[in-house]
Chain A
Amino acid sequence: MAQAPRRTARPRTSEQETVSVRMYRGLLGDCFLLTHRIGKRVFRTLFDCGVLQAIGSAKPETKAGVAHMADVVRNLFDETGGELDLVVATHEHYDHLSGFILQDELWDTFKIHAVWFAWTENYADPLANDIRLNRSKGLATLSALVAGAKAGQAFGLVPDELEETVARVQDLLQFYGEIEPVAVVGHALTGAAAHDPAAPANPRPSGRPPKVPPVSCQDVLDWLKTRPEDPGKVRYLEPGQQVRFGLDDRLQATVFGPPRTRDRLLQLDPSKGGGREVYLVQPGEVGALAKTLAMRSEQQAGGALVAGDYPFADRFRRWEDAASDDPLAAAYYATDPRNAKRRIDGEWLGSAETLALKIDGDVNNTSLALAVEVPGRDVLLFPGDAQVGNWLSWHDRKYPAEPATKDVPQETAEQILNRVVFYKVGHHASHNATAREKGLELMLSPDLVAMIPVVEAVAKEQKTKNNPDGWAMPYRDLYARLKEKTRGRIVRGDGDPATEAAAFKAADGRFALAFGTGEQPLWAEVTMKVTAA
């Protein structure tokens, strides 16, 4: 895995070289095995291993997916002999990492030679820590809201209003596993623990050790960091880098994202245009919600008022009182339904939901997006769950960003995307994780195939009052366009194997499609012969 580009060694004559991608089916979650074969030699790379899980919920399809994970990891072990040359963990979401939590004992028996993460997972990176700390505070606040509500705290709100929001926030929190408590107000961060020979090489900024076996996605990432025997094989990748791997270093990963940007907000200056919001959560936003929650709990417990918590001095304070005979209060609390709609008591709760959504988007945007180039220059695209901001940032630079020597040619993202022959569809084909003009439309190969790790029945189960149809995955219009671009060569986590095989056959192309055994095979695999240059 040398970083400097170098001429690839020719394979010994007459040996066949192939790459194949295996997708584990039946998961609303990602688990992809990329296999590079030359003759009898193999190099195996795993991209994520996870499934959506609704904790303590009664959604039958979702539960079935979780049970399914045991078979998946077992098959992975059998297939690889318990040995993985490389594991790529794209981002810290449950539907990408929960396999390591649910099947931790089996995973402990795996040999993992190298792991790759996005730079955002590096605890030695101050910007990454900023983003993470902010996010952790947000998550801690939201889980306090959920926990409080579950414990019967009303926060002074109408129960219906609270229940609905809490349900929605909880749905989004299930993506992280157990959430580490963080001091949200103030700067109570401790430094890393004093030097301890047993301490991990990349200690958490909070100083709190990860849990083993892992209970959260962050624990999984920390666990993965300890797996390679050679600590040098733990890599945090930066956009613009190109890294060689595979047999004889014949594969090359171009790192598209996540973007490294501090320019989070207010890209509204008309003279600038270019940049774009990628990480949306702001410290102030988290603080305000945390404060409101803390105050509500305090007030309910009858605790003393803290002067600094209130914007105005004592003499202006007047406790809200629905029974007041003040004419304005009477108008505000008037009971007719039209008036009730205009009240704002629960408006602050809306920010909890917005925050949860933003965190969700932020984490998706920290996805390690890789374009894997095989000999012959075809590209396999693994964007994680990168959302639009991440995708658009790919076009901000050339690749490699910093060529080792002057004569190394640089390429644009567009040129690389033009050669994509395999696309791992981002975020289970939701509406906002595949860029259109700057993404899918740039994939021009007539051989393009796509794999969608989706189980529509599970997505549909994720219903709330405001979203009665559940999640739109796959998103209809994206799916229709994918079908056109791939000429029907789409493999879905819940597809019908016979239909899919027929579609591959009818459209021909470079990839062969195979399935595991049985009526509902565990996996689907596409394989391409490498036309070596």
Chain B
Amino acid sequence: MVPPVPQPTARRLRVYAFDPNAALDLGTTRFASATISLAWNEATEEPLAPGPVNEYLEVIDIDPCSRQFYGAVDLDAPDVLAQDGLPPSEGDPRFHQQMVFAVAMKTIKLFERALGRKVLWAPAWDDEKKTYVATPKLRVYPHAIRDQNAYYSREKRALLFGYFATTRRSAGASWIFTALSHDIIVHETTHAILDGLHPRYSEPTSPDSLAFHEAFADIAALFSHFQLPEAVHAYIEANGGKLDESGLLSGLAGQFAQGTTGRGSLRDYIDRQPDPDLLEGTIEPHERGAILVAAVFDAFLTIYGARTGDLLRMSGADVGGGARLHPDLVARLTREAGKAADHVLRMCIRALDYLPPVDVRFGEFLRAIVTADTDLIPDDTLHYRLAFVQAFRRRGIFPENCLSMSPDNLLWDMQPQDPGDPGFLGIGDIQNQGLDFVPRYRRGDIIAVSEENRRKLWHWLVKPDLQKPEIDRRWEAALGVYFQRPDGRPLHTISGRSTGLKVEVASVRTTRRSGPDGQDIRQLVIEVTQRRRGYFDAERQRIEDGTETGPDVPPRDFIFRGGATLIVDLRDNTLRYVIRKRIDDDDRLQRQREQLMRSDAMGFTYDRGRSNEPFAMLHRM
């Protein structure tokens, strides 16, 4: 009998490092292509099929504008396997399929590593069953439209990549495919991941909400550049160790920008003179998001400086003085840049669990970054957190109701841990609800278990405590939602009966994260939300709030949501944080109203038809 051959360690797939145009430029040909290593058929995952189709993605290469349906690449074909996937080529649609697949998968795995759990897509509404059903696979259409656009479609749960002909010579090609731009693929995939994590973030509740989506997608795309050591190496070599020059690394979607406007990059995130007042008047989502991305990039540069200061001093190198650095030093700097970028991106991704379920603000993102990082890595020896705080402060991004901008003041308030404390919330009985915390590895199982946990938690949460109603009131105060109509102010705009108001447990997720010094965190993240009918007219709002409704609920102008994210430490079953947005917060309601009525917020809003696809409109860049 033939002894078994050891399994390969990875499936290696070639992609363009940036885009086909960077591959043409003589200065950058050295790192024109990169190789992405994905796990070889993981035991817990569905095997790879032509398309490529796997557990997470299904690439379907239909091109409706040309009325073509291109043949799918089989990544398991021996000829393909033997050469790390098809070689980069603009002219072979199968390579396009390979590249979108590889880059999207790499992005998914990056998020999973930082989040400590599997990525799940936003569920879809089923018209027949009148409920949300899970989306096992995200669709990817590499040639969906002939347009200077690529977007994540919420309705189709799909990534749509466009392509177009250009006459601008600087683009270096006559056809430009957004599916061949590394940055664009990461950006769109991140939209999909974020939407799966926080489905309510795509609602325009404040100038920050849509901007946050854009900013986060750009952050992921930007820091993915630093996973290309060859490119970083060449860049550091050319710039004498400095990273703060605008260029390939700090810019996004070079070829797309060349092909559409002739500019060097779509957005560049080096801003030398941050303006703390700029945020105030910047409303357009990309512009506003750019301020957040610039802040994160600034934090990264500070961290890179802190990590490499000693190296540069030891080498006696004259940084930025034009002299060539020693190749060993360049190699070390490259590693440090890669590490710093990885850390920064992970800090940002981890923060996603520490955000409220609705109506996110930039300042809250900063608090989430600081808190999540403190929980995992209590000792901040290299002052990463301070670097973030400083960068945000320089751009006028301040959290509301925060005493000062020192990292310890930015931590989310810890829940009282002493049972005698009047605000104490015991969750000891949560264990009796039959929640299932056994780690699962198959995504199908994870979806099923978390759905079951969600149902159980909902029962636990909304079941009134008949003996001690004050405990329920205490929970209401903590979560910012109401289980029963409050006495003083009835808020009839929240649906429900006398037995209880409608409250949704939006999601229940378990995470497991490890810190650099062996820290191990196991957490349960629960999102609780509630909706209230909102009206453009404040007076009408007041009247509706006070008017009892019959079975026919009057129509609303918009939905106003409140709720909280609960973070439970599963090591000792204590409630650590409750990050809330109160449903009865009329100031917040007023701000959402203003946002919806803002004349220049979304361009042509007298057409409400396309508002269910916010990203399609936003991305017509």
Please report A residues at the B interface, Cβ cutoff 8 Å: 156, 265-271, 273, 282, 284-285, 287-289, 291-292, 295-296, 299, 309-313, 316-321, 324, 326-329, 331-332, 337-338, 341-348, 350-351, 354, 357-358, 360-361, 388, 392, 430-436, 464-467, 471-472, 475-478, 480
Among B67, B127, B177, contact of A319 (Cβ-Cβ < 8 Å): B67
Q: Are B278 and A270 in contact (CB under 8 A)?
A: yes
**B607 at interface, CB cutoff 8 A:** yes
Report how far A285 CA is from B146 CA in the complex, Å: 8
Report how far A338 CA is from B133 CA in the complex, Å: 10
How far is the CB of B52 from the nearest CB of chain A, in Å? 10
Q: Are B160 and A347 in contact (CB under 8 A)?
A: yes
Report how far A445 CA is from B271 CA in the complex, Å: 41
Among A273, A328, A329, A471, contact of B282 (Cβ-Cβ < 8 Å): A273
Query: Which B residues are in CB contact (< 8 Å) with A284?
Result: 148, 164-166, 260
Query: Which A residues are in CB contact (< 8 Å) with B175?
Result: 311
Nearest-CB residue, chain A, relative to B69: A320
Interface centre among B260, B600, B621 (most CB of A within 10 A): B600
- Offer 30 A-B interface pairs, CB within 8 angstroms, sorted by A: A265-B261, A266-B260, A266-B267, A268-B284, A270-B271, A270-B290, A273-B282, A284-B164, A285-B147, A287-B165, A288-B148, A291-B65, A310-B66, A311-B177, A316-B94, A318-B70, A324-B69, A328-B72, A341-B156, A346-B64, A348-B146, A351-B145, A434-B599, A467-B606, A467-B607, A467-B608, A467-B609, A472-B606, A476-B537, A477-B536
How far is the CB of B613 from the nearest CB of chain A, in Å? 9
Nearest-CB residue, chain A, relative to B613: A350
Nearest 7 A/B pairs, CB to CB: A466-B609, A288-B146, A320-B69, A388-B600, A342-B156, A270-B290, A432-B599
For chain B, residues 256 to 302, give those with C-beta under 8 angstroms from any C-beta of chain A: 257, 260-261, 263, 266-269, 271-273, 275, 278, 282, 284, 286-287, 290-291, 294
Query: Which B residues are in CB contact (< 8 Å) with A342?
Result: 139, 156-158
Report how far A282 CA is from B58 CA in the complex, Å: 32
Q: Are A347 and B64 in contact (CB under 8 A)?
A: yes
Given A347-B144, A354-B620: A310 touches B68 (CB 8 Å cut-off): yes
How far is the CB of A174 from the nearest CB of chain B, in Å? 16
Interface centre among A289, A313, A324, A342 (most CB of B within 10 A): A342
Q: B533-553, CB under 8 A of A: which get 1 and which 0?
A: 000110000000000000000
Nearest-CB residue, chain B, relative to A320: B69
Query: Which A residues are in CB contact (< 8 Å) with B51?
Result: 328
Report how far A411 CA is from B285 CA in the complex, Å: 32
Interface centre among B124, B165, B606 (most CB of A within 10 A): B606
Among A265, A291, A348, contact of B64 (Cβ-Cβ < 8 Å): A348
Q: Are A344 and B148 in contact (CB under 8 A)?
A: no
**B376 at interface, CB cutoff 8 A:** no
Q: Are A344 and B607 in contact (CB under 8 A)?
A: no
Report how far A55 CA is from B61 CA in the complex, Å: 41
Q: Are A156 and B67 in contact (CB under 8 A)?
A: yes
Report how far A296 CA is from B68 CA in the complex, Å: 12
Q: Are B294 and A270 in contact (CB under 8 A)?
A: yes
Report how far A262 CA is from B49 CA in the complex, Å: 48
Nearest-CB residue, chain A, relative to B64: A345
**Known contacts A266-B267, A311-B177; can you find 18 more A-B pairs with CB under 8 A?**
A265-B260, A269-B290, A270-B278, A288-B147, A288-B164, A312-B70, A316-B70, A316-B91, A316-B92, A318-B69, A320-B68, A328-B58, A347-B64, A357-B604, A432-B600, A432-B604, A466-B607, A466-B609
Among A267, A288, A431, contact of B606 (Cβ-Cβ < 8 Å): A431
Report how far A471 CA is from B607 CA in the complex, Å: 8
Given A268-B287, A288-B147, A361-B603: A309 touches B608 (CB 8 Å cut-off): no
Query: Which A residues are in CB contact (< 8 Å) with B294?
Result: 270
Given A266-B261, A266-B263, A311-B163: A432 touches B66 (CB 8 Å cut-off): no
Query: Which A residues are in CB contact (< 8 Å) with B166?
Result: 284
How far is the CB of A172 from the nearest CB of chain B, in Å? 10
How far is the CB of B266 from the nearest CB of chain A, in Å? 7
Nearest-CB residue, chain B, relative to A430: B606
**B464 at interface, CB cutoff 8 A:** no
Interface centre among B147, B164, B609 (most CB of A within 10 A): B147
For chain B, residues 137 to 161, give those with C-beta under 8 angstroms from any C-beta of chain A: 139, 141, 143-148, 155-158, 160
Report how far A388 CA is from B157 CA in the complex, Å: 33
**B605 at interface, CB cutoff 8 A:** yes
How far is the CB of B563 from the nearest CB of chain A, in Å? 27
**B331 at interface, CB cutoff 8 A:** no
Query: Which A residues are in CB contact (< 8 Å) with B91?
Result: 312-313, 316
**B247 at interface, CB cutoff 8 A:** no
Q: B606-621, CB under 8 A of A: which get 1 and which 0?
A: 1111100000110011
How far is the CB of B612 from the nearest CB of chain A, in Å? 10
**B93 at interface, CB cutoff 8 A:** yes
Query: Which B residues are in CB contact (< 8 Å) with A350?
Result: 610, 616
**B380 at interface, CB cutoff 8 A:** no
Nearest-CB residue, chain B, relative to A322: B69
Given A431-B606, A432-B604: A338 touches B124 (CB 8 Å cut-off): yes
Q: Are A344 and B144 in contact (CB under 8 A)?
A: yes
Given A265-B260, A342-B156: A295 touches B65 (CB 8 Å cut-off): yes
Query: Which A residues are in CB contact (< 8 Å) with B158?
Result: 342, 344
Nearest-CB residue, chain A, relative to B129: A338
Interface centre among B67, B68, B128 (most CB of A within 10 A): B67
Query: Which A residues are in CB contact (< 8 Å) with B269?
Result: 270
Report how far A42 CA is from B521 CA in the complex, Å: 84
**B71 at interface, CB cutoff 8 A:** yes
Query: Which B residues are in CB contact (< 8 Å) with A354?
Result: 617, 620
Q: Are B68 and A318 in contact (CB under 8 A)?
A: yes
Q: Are B600 and A357 in contact (CB under 8 A)?
A: no
Query: Which A residues are in CB contact (< 8 Å) with B144?
Result: 344, 347
**B377 at interface, CB cutoff 8 A:** no
Query: Which A residues are in CB contact (< 8 Å) with B607?
Result: 357, 466-467
Q: B43-61, CB under 8 A of A: which get 1 and which 0?
A: 0000001110100001011
How far is the CB of B38 from the nearest CB of chain A, in Å? 20
Q: Are B126 and A338 in contact (CB under 8 A)?
A: yes
Q: Are B58 and A331 in contact (CB under 8 A)?
A: yes
Nearest-CB residue, chain A, relative to B605: A431
How far is the CB of B270 from the nearest CB of chain A, in Å? 9
Report how far A502 CA is from B598 CA in the complex, Å: 32
How far is the CB of B51 from the nearest CB of chain A, in Å? 6
Q: Are A291 and B260 in contact (CB under 8 A)?
A: no
**B411 at interface, CB cutoff 8 A:** no
Query: Which B residues are in CB contact (< 8 Å) with A282?
Result: 148, 260
**B597 at interface, CB cutoff 8 A:** yes
Report how far A348 CA is from B163 CA in the complex, Å: 12
Report how far A320 CA is from B65 CA in the complex, Å: 11
Q: Are A328 and B50 in contact (CB under 8 A)?
A: yes
How far is the CB of A247 from the nearest CB of chain B, in Å? 37
Given A271-B272, A284-B148: A316 touches B93 (CB 8 Å cut-off): yes
Among B93, B148, B163, B599, contact of A285 (Cβ-Cβ < 8 Å): B148
Interface centre among A292, A296, A311, A388 (most CB of B within 10 A): A311
Report how far A41 CA is from B585 CA in the complex, Å: 61
Among A344, A392, A475, contact of B141 (Cβ-Cβ < 8 Å): A344
Report how far A288 CA is from B66 CA in the complex, Å: 11
**B62 at interface, CB cutoff 8 A:** yes
Nearest-CB residue, chain B, relative to A310: B66
How far is the CB of A323 from the nearest CB of chain B, in Å? 11
For chain B, residues 3 to 56, give those with C-beta under 8 angstroms from any C-beta of chain A: 49-51, 53
Given A156-B67, A295-B65, A312-B70: A271 touches B271 (CB 8 Å cut-off): yes
Query: Which A residues are in CB contact (< 8 Å) with B67?
Result: 156, 295-296, 299, 319-320
Nearest-CB residue, chain B, relative to A345: B64
Q: Are A476 and B286 in contact (CB under 8 A)?
A: no
Q: Are A312 and B608 in contact (CB under 8 A)?
A: no
Report how far A156 CA is from B617 CA in the complex, Å: 25
Query: Which A residues are in CB contact (< 8 Å) with B71?
Result: 316, 318
Report how far A1 CA is from B105 CA in the complex, Å: 68
Report how far A168 CA is from B286 CA in the complex, Å: 28
